[in-house]
């Protein structure tokens, strides 16, 4: 209470209000625009004579044009007078022109709670939080398979440039959409060749990948936490044009192959949130009359920010013009487990690899080990192969992003390194396919005569075997 009373008795310093730039004057106040507009609107509402409506409308538009011209002239004259008569050497005008303002530039982040962190340390810390670099453990190798594409047309560019909205903040190059639209109008063929070249070379220019990043503090959040900020990235506008053109081609390809599910409403043209809610309500009404109904709503926080793309493996199902066709299979007879890898070239069996596992290994492990063996063989010979297996579960485990088995993850990493050499596909059993029938016979033989192969035991299986 004493402290509160002491502060109340302190003499308050008068606030220094910043000089306001004002241009409004009596000439602007005494205008007839509103009056003429009301007369024009009244004549239209009363369905007056067409000539009367037209004359009142023309009078209103003439007066509005005069007022706009006077407004711009008054603004410019007031700004010139303000600049000429400004005497504050390093005041607000100086900070405005030379971008010397300090408001909003403070960084509240303090890495490791160290008060001696420099501004660069703080910026590096928050940038690493929102845009983490690739870790040394990520061995993700991307080898794109480029298929023939349809070239862009002038109509595609006209649609894209026509839909560009003005008043958008540019990136580091400070070139906005209006300037690129003017370049396109000047030389459409040049712009068409430029964009088609990017598509043909499967290349997004590096200079268009650099962004200007701002961090906005969320309302009511702790400025000392990285989660309290919202990053805003300003990319070069030309890169956004390339992205829009790519989106046109991507959406066309997805529609052509009927890939997107009909219930997908996000990020689709003509599919709004209102339409999704309407569909949901109508479905609920229909189900309530016949069945029990339960609705589960899921919201994943920062789903795209927390997604590790390197965990997702997209394997080729088929390598065109491959050097060899490889069939794999695993088998278990009584307490013996083994697998076989049969290599064919032009339907001729040229080589077989038979391995025997430990008695506690499962058929699933044998199938995975066979695929791994085939991939390692292709890597050692530097040849392209198509691997055919009966085990859908093995393919699903290799493609899964949530696999915790070190055995499966090791196989996944080895296959990803040679994605361009290996195709992996499922083949249905017992259909009389020569290579598949051969692999089945050899896998059964491997349970007794195969070479001994080092086995990996997942934790659950190891526990079960130890109890026995």
Written as one string, the DSSP assignment of 66-77 is HHHHHHHHHHHH
Q: Digits of tens for pLDDT over the chain (468 positions)?
A: 445 544 554 555 555 555 555 777 777 777 788 888 889 888 888 888 888 888 998 999 999 998 889 888 888 888 888 777 777 666 655 665 555 555 445 667 878 878 788 888 888 888 888 888 766 555 555 555 566 778 889 988 998 888 888 778 888 888 888 888 889 999 999 999 999 999 888 888 988 989 888 888 888 888 888 888 888 899 999 999 999 998 888 888 888 888 888 888 887 777 888 888 888 888 888 888 777 888 888 877 766 666 666 566 677 888 888 899 999 999 998 888 899 999 999 889 999 999 988 888 889 889 999 999 999 999 999 999 999 998 888 888 888 777 778 888 888 888 888 888 999 998 888 788 888 899 999 999 988 887 765 544 443 343 333 333
pLDDT of residue 457: 45
Compute CA distances 360 → 130, 134, 357, 439, whole Å: 45, 38, 8, 22
Helices (H), 271-418: 273-288, 363-381, 392-399, 406-417
Tell me whether residue 444 is in a domain: yes
The verdict on 125 and 252 lying in the same domain is yes
The verdict on 245 and 154 lying in the same domain is yes
Q: Which two tokens stand for residue 389?
A: 């297996």
pLDDT of residue 465: 33
Compute CA distances 161 → 168, 176, 189, whole Å: 14, 12, 14
Tell me whether residue 6 is in a domain: no
Nearest to 158 by CA among 188, 198, 122: 188
Specify the number of domains making up the chain.
3
The verdict on 122 and 253 lying in the same domain is yes
Start-to-end CA distance of the chain, whole Å, equals 75
The verdict on 370 and 252 lying in the same domain is no
Question: Which runs of E-coded beta strand occur in 203-323?
Answer: 212-217, 229-234
Tell me whether residue 136 is in a domain: yes
What domain range is 154 assigned to? 117-257
* CATH number of the CATH domain containing 407: 3.30.420.10
Q: Is the distance from CB of 246 to CB of 234 less than 8 angstroms?
A: no
The verdict on 66 and 135 lying in the same domain is no
Tell me whether residue 212 is in a domain: yes
The verdict on 320 and 444 lying in the same domain is yes
Phi first, then psi: give them for residue 17, nearest 5 degrees. Answer: -80, 135
Tell me whether residue 466 is in a domain: no
Tell me whether residue 138 is in a domain: yes
The verdict on 190 and 75 lying in the same domain is no
In total, the chain counts a number of residues equal to 468
The verdict on 198 and 330 lying in the same domain is no
pLDDT of residue 101: 54
The verdict on 77 and 131 lying in the same domain is no
Question: Which runs of E-coded beta strand occur in 62-117?
Answer: none
The verdict on 238 and 125 lying in the same domain is yes
Domain boundary, last residue among 212, 232, 257:
257
The verdict on 203 and 76 lying in the same domain is no
pTM greater than 0.95: no
Tell me whether residue 291 is in a domain: no
The verdict on 327 and 227 lying in the same domain is no
Tell me whether residue 97 is in a domain: no
């Amino acid at each position: 209470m004493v402290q509160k009373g002491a502060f109340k008795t302190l003499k308050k310093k008068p606030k220094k209000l910043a000089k306001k730039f004002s241009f409004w004057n009596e000439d602007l106040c005494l205008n007839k625009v509103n009056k003429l507009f009301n007369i024009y609107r009244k004549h239209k509402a009363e369905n007056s004579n067409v000539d009367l409506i037209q004359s009142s409308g023309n009078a209103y538009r003439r007066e509005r044009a005069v007022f706009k011209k006077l407004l711009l002239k008054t603004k410019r004259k007031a700004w010139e007078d303000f600049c000429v008569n400004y005497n504050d050497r390093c005041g607000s005008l100086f900070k405005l022109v030379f971008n010397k303002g300090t408001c909003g530039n403070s960084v509240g982040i303090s890495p490791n709670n160290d008060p001696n962190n420099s501004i660069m340390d703080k910026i590096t810390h928050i940038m690493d939080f929102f845009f983490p670099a690739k870790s040394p453990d990520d061995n993700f190798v991307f080898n794109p398979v480029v298929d023939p594409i349809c070239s862009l047309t002038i109509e595609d560019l006209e649609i894209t440039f026509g839909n560009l909205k003005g008043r958008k903040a540019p990136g580091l190059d400070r070139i906005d959409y209006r300037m690129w639209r003017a370049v396109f109008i000047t030389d459409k063929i040049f712009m068409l060749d430029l964009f088609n070249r990017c598509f043909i070379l499967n290349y997004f220019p590096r200079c268009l990948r650099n962004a200007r990043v701002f961090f906005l503090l969320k309302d009511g959040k702790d400025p000392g936490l990285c989660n309290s900020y919202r990053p805003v990235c300003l990319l070069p506008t030309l890169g956004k044009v390339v992205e829009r053109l790519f989106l046109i081609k991507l959406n066309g390809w997805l529609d052509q192959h009927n890939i997107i599910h009909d219930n997908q409403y996000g990020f689709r043209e003509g599919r709004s949130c209102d339409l999704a809610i309407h569909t949901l309500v109508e479905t609920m009404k229909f189900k309530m009359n016949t069945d029990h109904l339960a609705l589960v709503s899921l919201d994943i926080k920062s789903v795209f920010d927390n997604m590790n793309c390197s965990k997702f493996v997209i394997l080729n199902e088929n390598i065109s013009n491959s050097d060899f066709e490889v069939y794999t299979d695993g088998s278990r007879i009584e307490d013996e487990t083994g697998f076989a890898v049969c290599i064919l070239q032009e339907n001729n069996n040229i080589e077989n690899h038979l391995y025997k596992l430990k008695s506690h290994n499962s058929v699933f492990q044998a199938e995975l080990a066979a695929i791994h063996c085939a991939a390692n063989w292709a890597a050692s010979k530097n040849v392209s192969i198509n691997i055919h297996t009966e085990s859908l579960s093995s393919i699903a485990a290799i493609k899964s992003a949530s696999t915790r088995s070190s055995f499966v993850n090791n196989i996944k990493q080895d296959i990803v390194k040679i994605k361009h050499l290996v195709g992996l596909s499922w083949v249905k059993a017992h259909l009389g396919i020569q290579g598949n029938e051969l692999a089945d016979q050899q896998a059964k033989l491997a349970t007794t005569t195969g070479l001994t192969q080092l086995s990996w035991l997942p934790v659950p299986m190891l526990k079960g075997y130890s109890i026995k």
